[in-house]
């Protein structure tokens, strides 16, 4: 392997994060340990956005555009996934409140023009004295896994150079409480997902309102709601990527050429390692807690961890967490160094880590016995939280579909 392929050591292979990443990891871990975790049970019960914690994170620069930009640009690709593992080790609900904006920002950074990125990304985060959130709104009541079924319409009015958006979005993280909403809408319904475009809805735009807020099984500190778009008018410059690019794409499609759908799919693939890292963080929390418990809880005159039945469970949990992290790091490194996901490596990481987190947190409850089933111990919350990783950013079934297609080369349905 040559040096320009992004290898980290002379020998051509290494798994040790750089000193920059290690330093950042320790700093995020400190915040997760001292601020996030002690507040986790309270915000889970309150089912509200933990604004004071977001403000605290903003004050130290952890909730900031700078932090997200710097970690996304880490040349090894590990910056964001290492940060997310630590934050979600602290708590998944608060963690998602802190990184939900980053996911919306990533979608704009991925396909916006330099002017759009410069204008809107800072507004998504606000300032330490006046923090703001952003939301990414793609899912709809009848368009979840099937993103091609999106019904929200965007119609261009040439006379005023405005787009008018109408429709209902659902499941939007930070939906309605965000300042900037990024909305996926159809500009040409006949073209399905290829006829879609993404729009920036600026703060305070008339016609955008929050619908119902969902009461969830887990990640309850993270706000999830419907977003209603009723004649929402946004200026032409709010079409992500610009009108020339959209017109060129639609013209290519009209002449029977590919409209670049594959490129959009690759963008989705590259954000999945971040979600896998969240799952690894929750599972690691449960593993560590269960291992400590097994070493101190005594039954039959010895620590329960001295029984193979318990120790082997912990061994399986350790192997699963390690495997998920390695898949996550591989996918993050591949995405950052421009390697194509020929075998859907992003989906592989997300699928494995999501299902692993559900299993490992369930095993942790088992190791804690009756205590594990109560809200006096955090493992039941971690189990409730872990389930989301098999659902959002593409369900496990959709990941299997994508991996199945990559493996077989067939149009698996
Ligand atoms: C807490 C939370 C936060 C979210 N945040 C956001 C957000 O910020 N922005 C956003 O746009 N969306 C968000 N989502 C939406 C999320 O991405 C969707 O819930 C997810 O894509 C699944 O869609 P669905 O719920 O409509 O399920 P459906 O698509 O109806 O799926 C139901 C079941 O059918 C299965 N299924 C569907 N199609 C197939 C198939 N072809 N083959 C096999 N099985 C299939 C699914 O795997 C699943 O098990 C969030 C969801 C939740 C719960």
pLDDT computed for residue 257 by the predictor? 79
pLDDT computed for residue 267 by the predictor? 59
Global pTM reads 0.96
Please tell me which residue, 129 or 269, carries the higher pLDDT value.
129
Would you call 170 helix, strand, or coil by DSSP?
Answer: strand
| pLDDT tens-digit readout, 294-342 | 999 999 999 999 999 999 999 999 999 999 999 999 999 999 999 999 9
pLDDT computed for residue 11 by the predictor? 65
pLDDT computed for residue 46 by the predictor? 98
Decide if pLDDT at 1 tops 50: no
If we measure between CA atoms, which residue out of 113, 109, 30 comes closest to residue 69? 109
Identify whether the C-beta of residue 324 lies closer than 8 Å to the C-beta of residue 283: yes
If we measure between CA atoms, which residue out of 276, 257, 279, 256 comes closest to residue 334? 276
Ligand 1 atom 45: residue of nearest CA: 397
Identify whether the C-beta of residue 214 lies closer than 8 Å to the C-beta of residue 204: no
| pLDDT tens-digit readout, 81-93 | 999 999 999 999 9
Degrees to nearest 5, angle at CA 302 with 297 and 308: 90
- The CA distances from residue 66 to 71, 76, 275, in Å, are 8, 18, 20
Ligand 1 atom 24: residue of nearest CA: 144
Would you call 171 helix, strand, or coil by DSSP?
Answer: strand
| pLDDT tens-digit readout, 248-288 | 999 998 888 776 654 456 556 678 999 999 999 999 999 99
Ligand 1 atom 43: residue of nearest CA: 397
pLDDT computed for residue 264 by the predictor? 53
Residue 396 alpha carbon, nearest atom of ligand 1: 47
pLDDT computed for residue 4 by the predictor? 47
Gap from CA of 70 to ligand 1 centroid (Å):
30
Residues at CB less than 6 angstroms from ligand 1 = 136-139, 144-145, 171-173, 216, 219, 224, 388, 391-395, 397-398, 401
pLDDT computed for residue 382 by the predictor? 98
Task: Band the pLDDT of 2: cuts 50, 70, 90.
Answer: very low
Q: What is the dihedral of CA 286, 291, 296, 298, to 10 degrees?
A: 100
Please tell me which residue, 192 or 396, carries the higher pLDDT value.
396
Ligand 1 atom 38: residue of nearest CA: 145
In testing the pocket of ligand 1, which one of 145, 147, 413 has its CB within 8 Å of the most ligand atoms?
145
pLDDT computed for residue 409 by the predictor? 96
DSSP 109-168: HHHS-HHHHHHHHHHHHEETTEE--EEEE--BTTBSS-GGG---EEEEETTTTEEEEEEE
Identify whether the C-beta of residue 276 lies closer than 8 Å to the C-beta of residue 386: no
Both tokens of residue 93? Answer: 């609900």
Question: 350: which residues sit within 8 A by CB, 6+ positions away?
Answer: 272, 273, 275, 276, 279, 389, 393, 394, 399
Q: Which of 23, 85, 393, 397 is catalytic?
A: 393
Please tell me which residue, 269 or 123, carries the higher pLDDT value.
123
Identify whether the C-beta of residue 82 lies closer than 8 Å to the C-beta of residue 25: yes
| pLDDT tens-digit readout, 374-388 | 999 999 999 999 999
Distance CA 185, CA 183 (A): 6
Would you call 239 helix, strand, or coil by DSSP?
Answer: strand
Degrees to nearest 5, angle at CA 59 with 58 and 63: 15
Gap from CA of 392 to ligand 1 centroid (Å):
6
Residue 174 alpha carbon, nearest atom of ligand 1: 8
| pLDDT tens-digit readout, 171-185 | 999 999 999 999 999
pLDDT computed for residue 265 by the predictor? 60
Give the pairing of strands 180-186 and 134-137: parallel
Q: Is 393 marked active-site?
A: yes
Number of residues written out for the chain: 413
Gap from CA of 144 to ligand 1 centroid (Å):
5
Please tell me which residue, 320 or 5, carries the higher pLDDT value.
320
Mean pLDDT of all residues belonging to the chain:
94
Gap from CA of 395 to ligand 1 centroid (Å):
6
Residue 184 alpha carbon, nearest atom of ligand 1: 11
Q: CB 364: neighbour CB atoms within 10 A?
A: 30
Gap from CA of 145 to ligand 1 centroid (Å):
5
Decide if pLDDT at 8 tops 90: no
Gap from CA of 400 to ligand 1 centroid (Å):
14
Identify whether the C-beta of residue 219 lies closer than 8 Å to the C-beta of residue 241: no
pLDDT computed for residue 162 by the predictor? 98
Question: 290: which residues sit within 8 A by CB, 6+ positions away?
Answer: 314, 317, 363, 364, 367, 368, 379
In testing the pocket of ligand 1, which one of 171, 220, 386, 412 has its CB within 8 Å of the most ligand atoms?
171
Question: 124: which residues sit within 8 A by CB, 6+ positions away?
Answer: 65, 101, 104, 105, 108, 132, 133, 134, 178, 179, 180
Both tokens of residue 42? Answer: 């309270």
Portion of the chain with pLDDT greater than 70, in percent? 94
Please tell me which residue, 114 or 268, carries the higher pLDDT value.
114
pLDDT computed for residue 263 by the predictor? 47
Residue 398 alpha carbon, nearest atom of ligand 1: 47
Decide if pLDDT at 224 tops 80: yes
Task: Band the pLDDT of 243: cuts 50, 70, 90.
Answer: very high
pLDDT computed for residue 256 by the predictor? 82
If we measure between CA atoms, which residue out of 392, 353, 358 comes closest to residue 224? 392
Ligand 1 atom 16: residue of nearest CA: 392
pLDDT computed for residue 259 by the predictor? 63
């Amino acid at each position: 392997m040559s040096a320009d392929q992004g290898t980290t050591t002379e020998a051509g292979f290494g798994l040790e994060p750089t000193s920059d990443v290690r330093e950042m990891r320790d700093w995020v871990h400190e915040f997760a340990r001292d601020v996030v975790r002690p507040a986790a049970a309270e915000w889970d019960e309150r089912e509200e956005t933990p604004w004071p914690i977001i403000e605290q994170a903003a004050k130290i620069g952890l909730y900031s555009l700078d932090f997200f930009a710097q970690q996304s640009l880490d040349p090894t690709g590990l910056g964001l996934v290492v940060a997310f593992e630590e934050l979600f080790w602290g708590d998944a609900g608060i963690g998602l409140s802190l990184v939900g904006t980053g996911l919306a920002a990533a979608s704009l950074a991925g396909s916006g023009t330099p002017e759009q990125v410069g204008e809107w990304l800072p507004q998504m985060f606000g300032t330490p004295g006046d923090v703001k959130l952003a939301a990414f709104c793609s899912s709809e009541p009848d368009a979840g896994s099937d993103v091609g079924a999106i019904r929200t319409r965007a119609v261009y009015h040439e006379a005023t150079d405005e787009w008018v958006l109408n429709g209902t979005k659902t499941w939007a993280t930070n939906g309605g409480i965000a300042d900037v909403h990024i909305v996926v809408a159809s500009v040409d319904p006949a073209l399905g997902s290829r006829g879609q475009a993404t729009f920036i809805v600026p703060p305070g735009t008339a016609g955008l309102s929050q619908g119902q807020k969902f009461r969830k099984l887990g990640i309850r500190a993270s706000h999830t709601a419907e977003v209603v778009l009723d004649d929402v008018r946004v200026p032409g410059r709010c079409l992500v990527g610009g009108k020339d690019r959209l017109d060129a794409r639609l013209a290519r499609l009209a002449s029977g050429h590919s409209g670049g759908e594959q490129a959009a799919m690759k963008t989705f693939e590259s954000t999945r390692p971040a979600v896998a890292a969240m799952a690894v963080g929750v599972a690691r929390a449960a593993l560590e807690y269960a291992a400590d418990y097994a070493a101190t809880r005594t039954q039959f005159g010895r620590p329960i961890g001295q029984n193979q039945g318990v120790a082997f469970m912990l061994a399986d949990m350790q192997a699963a967490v390690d495997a998920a992290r390695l898949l996550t790091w591989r996918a993050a490194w591949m995405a950052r160094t421009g390697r194509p996901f020929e075998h859907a490596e992003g989906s592989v990481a997300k699928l494995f880590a999501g299902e692993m987190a559900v299993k490992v947190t369930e095993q942790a409850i088992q190791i804690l016995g009756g205590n594990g089933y109560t809200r006096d111990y955090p493992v039941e919350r971690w189990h409730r939280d872990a389930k989301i990783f098999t659902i959002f950013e593409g369900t496990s079934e959709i990941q299997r579909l994508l991996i199945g297609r990559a493996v077989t080369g067939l149009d698996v349905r």
